[in-house]
Structure 1
Amino acid sequence: MAEVKAIDIMCYLFTREAIKRDWYEQEEMARVVRWWHLEERVRGYTVPEFVAMLDEAGVDKVCIPAVKIMSYRTRQMIWDTPLEEVVDVVQQHPDRFIGFAGYNPLEVMRGVREVERAVREHGFRGVYIHSYGFGLPVNDRRFYPLYAKCAELGVPVSMQVGHSAEHMPSEMGRPIHMDDIALEFPELNLIGAHTGWPWADELIALAWKHENVYIGIDAHMPQYLDPALIRFMKGRGQDKVLYGTNWPVIPHQASLEQLEALGLSEPVKAKVLRDNAARLLRL
């Protein structure tokens, strides 16, 4: 049980319908479940069941994105969470769930309009992008209208960086691509999700260089975090690191127990688990 009630900056939609559709009906995602032996973790919950699980783990809020992922092989969408599904869950527990919009860079104007609607009409607090299957790095011009709109709206953009679990080119997720975005959009806060591994040093360098670049430690159990990232989190980067799980890949209870074992000071632990995200999301 975490003493500080955590904010998870990356948690997939957990309903039974979403889990079945997104993780099992699409072979590219089902392969990940089998390869990583995630069958016991990847199962759906009702809203009350999920809230009870968060309570037991000591998690206060989770950010839920309307994920959009394209297959690199077939050029078809393999994950296209309807905005309305996330809206429905968030509205049932707005004190616990924070909506993040998704974005398809091949449908620029439609994507920008949906992001604006999500933020202005439904109170979403950010956007999450997964660029790998589109075959585009995050500094591609087709993402720039999104970045401009999010800077205007005052919401952060979270982007997966590092390797891709799916069979997609990991080069699209090199953290160094974020350097261009941070330079072009100094008013836009950026979250490099998934730690940036195996290029964690690139993401650490950018978080230290740019005021508007943050690091999410989601998708990796804390015991496996890059040692350089742990040092950064304990020291000069303590204001730039955000707790997350990428649930259901990483379970909340186990991740918080392992984070506790890293030996963070109480002030640093409070920042990583809650304060940094609360400041970034203006909670």
Structure 2
Amino acid sequence: MSSPQRAHDCLINVHFGDKEQPDWMRRVKNEYFRRDDSVFGPWDMAKVLDEMDANGVRRAIVTGNVRDRDSSSIRFVEARPDRFSLTVGGLDLLRPMPSLKLLQSFIADYPVAYASVGPAFWGDGAYPPDHAVYYPLYTKCCELDLPLCLNTGLPGPPIAGEAQNPIHLDRVCVRFPELRLCMIHGADPWWDTAVRLMLKYPNLHLMTSAWAPKYLPESLLHYMRTRGGGKIIFGSDAPVLSITRTIGEAMRLDLPDDVRDNYLYGNAQRFFFDRLESGPLPPAIGY
């Protein structure tokens, strides 16, 4: 099947070649995805744009860090803001006020599509998303109408993953119905829980980043064909999984054309990019 006429890739990593990767990243590369060291090589922007163009990808969201303004991610965004936006992580939620001031400053300077947190990747997985340590961030994201993406599902690295069970978002969605919330990296092995939560809460979405589309479970595809056509968002997590591979596999999924278009383009446009294109964020409150 040919490439789509339009798509957005909502998670790519152009910074892997900036510095030596930690041991846990090398283990997930070797043991989980079984990729060679080229995954950690530098990215040439022209080649990235060529691959995006070949696969109909109009915009891509690159991973960034609120504490690092000298990275390939920043250089990509500054050079081509029409094609690249940022997701920003690196937030120390145990020091909420300095971290939120950094976040406020960062999004004032760059086109940030969403903030991101991996519950299993800090605090030894001791803080699931319904813990109060996240509440200042939830409040700030609501204030700014800034989407927040949280890793769900067992992580690839050999670290404790129970904090990423989607059930922890149940109480979050009850207490923060205004929060534009998206589960990222799928939800394995808790796909059914994730689907049930999305049925229950209008503000909750899911991104299939880091999942080869051909391995998505039938329960999720059934949800997409029925009540969930507006809830599932495409992301490759390139270079871990390439843009070309994931787009190609998405095109071969058994989905109606309108559902596939929403998956690859429309849902991301509504959830991430319409806000970016509507003008500057509202001013901070209380700083």
State TM-score, norm by structure 2.
0.87
CA distance in 2, matches of 1:206, 1:41: 37
Aligned to 1:169: 160
CA distance in 1, matches of 2:21, 2:145: 36
Are 1:197 and 2:193 matched, yes or no? Answer: no
Aligned to 1:33: 29
SS in 1 for 2:62: strand
Is the Cα contact below 8 Å between 2:221 and 2:255 reproduced in 1? no
CA RMSD in angstroms comes to 1.8
Alignment of 1:249-268 (within 5 A): 249-268=240-259
Q: Which of 199-208 and 80-89 deviates more?
A: 80-89
Aligned to 1:99: 86
> Cα deviations across residues 56-106 of structure 1 (Å, max 9, x unaligned)?
222111112225xxxxxxxxxxxx872442333211111111111212223
Are 1:125 and 2:113 matched, yes or no? Answer: yes
The 3 A distance-change label for structure 1 pair 122 and 32 is same
CA distance in 1, matches of 2:64, 2:149: 12
Give the partner amino acid of 1:56: A
> Cα deviations across residues 231-257 of structure 1 (Å, max 9, x unaligned)?
111221000010111112211111111
Q: CA deviation at 1:4?
A: 3.0
SS in 2 for 1:192: strand
Aligned to 2:280: none
SS in 1 for 2:85: strand
Q: Of 241, 260, 263, which aligns to 1:272?
A: 263
CA distance in 2, matches of 1:29, 1:6: 28
Structure 2: 5+ residue stretches without partners: 278-287
Aligned to 1:82: 68
Q: Percent of counterpart pairs with the same letter? A: 24
CA distance in 2, matches of 1:165, 1:111: 27
Structure 1: 5+ residue stretches without partners: 68-79
Q: How many pairs does the alignment contain?
A: 266
CA distance in 1, matches of 2:269, 2:70: 24
Q: CA deviation at 1:224?
A: 0.6
Is the Cα contact below 8 Å between 1:83 and 1:101 reproduced in 2? no
- Runs of 4 or more, structure 1, over 4 Å off, are none
CA distance in 2, matches of 1:10, 1:190: 15
CA distance in 2, matches of 1:33, 1:180: 33
Give the partner amino acid of 1:168: I
Q: CA deviation at 1:155?
A: 1.1
Give the partner amino acid of 1:130: G
State TM-score, norm by structure 1.
0.88
